[in-house]
Structure 1
Amino acid sequence: MRPDKYIQQLIEPVFNTGRTKEIFGFNPTVQPEWEDVKETKLYVYSYNAVSIEKVELKNIRETFRFRDSGKVSWINVDGIVKPDIELISQHFGVHPLLVEDISSIGQRPKMDDIEGVLFCLLNMLYFNEENCAVEQEQISIVLGKDFVITFQEDATRDVFKSIRDKLNIANSKLRLRGADYLCYSLLDVIVDHYFEVMEKLGDKIEQLEEEIVRRSTKKSLAKLNSLRKEMIVLKRNVSPVRDLINGFIKSESELLDDKINKYFKDVYDHIIQANDVAENYRDILTSLQDLYINQVNLKMNEVMKVMAIVTCLLAPGAVIGGIFGMNFDVIPYSHQKWGFYITVAVMLIVPLIMLRIFKKRGWF
């Protein structure tokens, strides 16, 4: 095996260089290849203040009847299948450009108002404890007249459970208001979940800081590098959401009631705070990198200091041994009975005196 390949195999498991390609390897000009979805799960909640209908459908065409049902309808599509997306979008009046955004992956969070439909796309974030990685799932939300359609990539993970629980409560604020309030609630839950991810990421940063202060190693540097990559993922997903929410606040669409504006402002405040926290974490990681470098330099200085002291302590013995080892006939005490012992004693006493002087000066 070539030496460079061997070194690469040793480095990659520690520094996880493959994660870099996952983060920066997306090319928006290339048509994405979706993994085959075995089945699409359809959940519909059709409700008003006094009643609610909860159904799980098997066919995308069964959702058509909920467009003009006289109630607010929340249609949740788990699993991205492009023919199904095109079919339901055509019936509910979603523009083909929005269909393309829903069907694409790696999109930047954004908000659009096209042909009487409000559309927003953002990522739901999760923290994988096993891999210490921030994972993302693209969520597309379509707001129309008395309906909200959500498209999710993964049906196994969901943060909308709290909204479903509120829908089951009669006369709750969610049941009393329209589809715009449901859209706000979905966005609010996603943004609030960002703080849970950042809290777990903050715990990892705190543990790393303790490790660097106590016993920094190359693994500490690898962990620091990994956390910086996860902060890039977090920042890239959280920062654009501010403009997304601001788009709802400034929108003059008839789908948004004037009273709903204050709720979106509350979400806007939350996402501003999330951005501030993300910036603080990034600054901490930069400080930890400087701390790691300082720790390495401190260790090197300690080693050099010990080596310098040892060299100084051995110098008198080397000088004395060199003098008495010269090839001369007349050397003081060389032919005396106690000459050897006196010489050895001087070679020990002088370093001890030097050691005391170093200690008194505070050099170690």
Structure 2
Amino acid sequence: MIVRYKSEGGKLSVTDDIGHDTWIRVTQPSGEDIASVSALLGTDVYEVNALLDRDEGSRWETEGDVTTIIVDIPYRRSESSGPPYDTLPFAIIMNHEVIATICQIESTVIQKIAGGAIKNLDLADRKDFVLKILYMISLEYQVQLREINTRRKEIESKVNYSTENSDIIELHNLESSLVYFSTSLTACNVVLDKMKRNAEKSEDARHLDGIHDVLIENQQAVEMSRTYRSIIDGTRELFAAVMNNRLNAILKWLTAVTIILAIPAIIGGFWGMNVTPLPFDNTPWGFWIVLVITVVICAAMTYAMKRKKMM
């Protein structure tokens, strides 16, 4: 799907014309869409197709008057199984006339930009528009990282009363999402550093400040992903320790019960021998006397074990 935008008075508006200072928004492109965009940008169809590979690495490169920037963009997966968050390549291609963004999904970031989240937007300043897109991507990473941490807290809160296998699996999936985010953010940092060096070389002070702002937000997202991943490692260790402690408590209780139940078995074994004489052998109340003695010994043993915290 292709949607074209023009900027007027700092706001975006949809247009059918393709001319100078046009933003071409390409989402879930078909073969026809890719061919159309390639023709407008003056790039090869194969190169644009390659940008849609989900394993395509982040980079910044210039060839002639065409500049290509590829970074990973975060998104929430709709599948119920597997990591709830993932990343996909997001391509920005621009020449001296137009700028195009290409992505396989309907990105939340692009939806916000198209909805007017960026104020005083001027598509004539394409470099500034690119930096604002990258800035919004960094903010979106932070939003989704906080969602991951919130879900981690919900899982951790259950550790005191219940630990299900599904919680452990979900914790692993959250950590997988953090790995994806951390890898993508680190690669984005490399792209931003390259853009910063290029701006310094060309003495582009106006855009250098914008690159610096994006770098700060991106680095903050990197630190957040590392911190949350470390916390999840600690949460997993907490789960393991709690489950081991519960298992040890159950085994200790079963051992104590086994010892106590062994007392009636031993006493019953002695009085069950076919030998004489036995205590209380000829007493009418012999059975009840032995039973009381057994109960008293068991009660005393139980009391002693509880005092020593063996039960």
Equivalent positions of 1:165-314 (< 5 A) are: 172=120, 174-175=121-122, 178-252=125-199, 257-314=204-261
For residues 36-67 of structure 1, what are the alpha-carbon distances to aligned partners after superposition, in whole Å with 9 as ceiling and x for unaligned?
xxxx32212145xx58783443xxxx52xx1x
Match of 1:175, SS state, is coil
Please say if 1:159 is aligned against 2:120. Answer: no
For residues 324-348 of structure 1, what are the alpha-carbon distances to aligned partners after superposition, in whole Å with 9 as ceiling and x for unaligned?
1111121122112232222111101
Closer, same or farther in 2 for the Cα pair 1:128/1:151, shift >3 Å? closer
Closer, same or farther in 2 for the Cα pair 1:178/1:337, shift >3 Å? same
Equivalent positions of 1:92-171 (< 5 A) are: 92-94=41-43, 98-128=47-77, 131=80, 133-145=84-96, 147-155=98-106, 157-164=107-114
Structure 1 distance, partners of 2:298, 2:90, is 73
Match of 1:44, SS state, is strand
For residues 259-289 of structure 1, what are the alpha-carbon distances to aligned partners after superposition, in whole Å with 9 as ceiling and x for unaligned?
1111111111111111111112222222222
Gaps of 5+ in 2: none
Q: Contact between 2:22 and 2:123, CA under 8 Å: does it hold in 1?
A: no
Closer, same or farther in 2 for the Cα pair 1:168/1:290, shift >3 Å? closer
Aligned-residue offset at 1:314: 1.9
Q: TM-score, normalised by structure 1?
A: 0.75
Equivalent positions of 1:282-361 (< 5 A) are: 282-361=229-308
For residues 117-164 of structure 1, what are the alpha-carbon distances to aligned partners after superposition, in whole Å with 9 as ceiling and x for unaligned?
321112332225773711444321013335322123234x44234434
Q: What amino acid is the match of 2:2?
A: K
Closer, same or farther in 2 for the Cα pair 1:52/1:300, shift >3 Å? closer
Structure 2 distance, partners of 1:282, 1:96, is 39
Structure 2 distance, partners of 1:257, 1:86, is 34
Work out which structure has the larger RCO, using CA pairs closer than 8 Å and 6 or more positions apart in sequence: 2
Closer, same or farther in 2 for the Cα pair 1:252/1:225, shift >3 Å? closer
* Root-mean-square deviation (Å): 3.0
Q: What percent of counterpart residues are identical?
A: 18
Closer, same or farther in 2 for the Cα pair 1:200/1:259, shift >3 Å? same
Q: What amino acid is the match of 1:318?
A: A
Q: TM-score, normalised by structure 2?
A: 0.86
Q: Contact between 2:280 and 2:286, CA under 8 Å: does it hold in 1?
A: yes
Structure 1 distance, partners of 2:10, 2:177, is 44
Which has the higher mean CA deviation after the structures are superposed, 216-225 or 349-358? 216-225
For residues 74-101 of structure 1, what are the alpha-carbon distances to aligned partners after superposition, in whole Å with 9 as ceiling and x for unaligned?
2222332345434433443446774343
Closer, same or farther in 2 for the Cα pair 1:340/1:245, shift >3 Å? same
Structure 1 distance, partners of 2:197, 2:66, is 15
Structure 2 distance, partners of 1:279, 1:297, is 27
Structure 2 distance, partners of 1:255, 1:86, is 33
Closer, same or farther in 2 for the Cα pair 1:223/1:121, shift >3 Å? same
The residue number in structure 2 matching 1:22 is none
Q: What amino acid is the match of 1:228?
A: E
Q: What amino acid is the match of 1:45?
A: K
Q: What amino acid is the match of 2:129?
A: L
Closer, same or farther in 2 for the Cα pair 1:326/1:275, shift >3 Å? same
Closer, same or farther in 2 for the Cα pair 1:229/1:330, shift >3 Å? same
Match of 2:122, SS state, is helix
Q: Contact between 1:98 and 1:119, CA under 8 Å: does it hold in 2?
A: no
Q: What amino acid is the match of 1:123?
A: D
| Number of residue-to-residue matches in the alignment | 309
Structure 1 distance, partners of 2:140, 2:52, is 24
Q: Contact between 2:128 and 2:207, CA under 8 Å: does it hold in 1?
A: yes
Aligned-residue offset at 1:257: 3.4
Equivalent positions of 1:16-35 (< 5 A) are: none
Please say if 1:44 is aligned against 2:5. Answer: yes
Q: Contact between 1:212 and 1:220, CA under 8 Å: does it hold in 2?
A: no
Gaps of 5+ in 1: 1-39
Closer, same or farther in 2 for the Cα pair 1:361/1:151, shift >3 Å? same
Q: Contact between 1:82 and 1:103, CA under 8 Å: does it hold in 2?
A: no
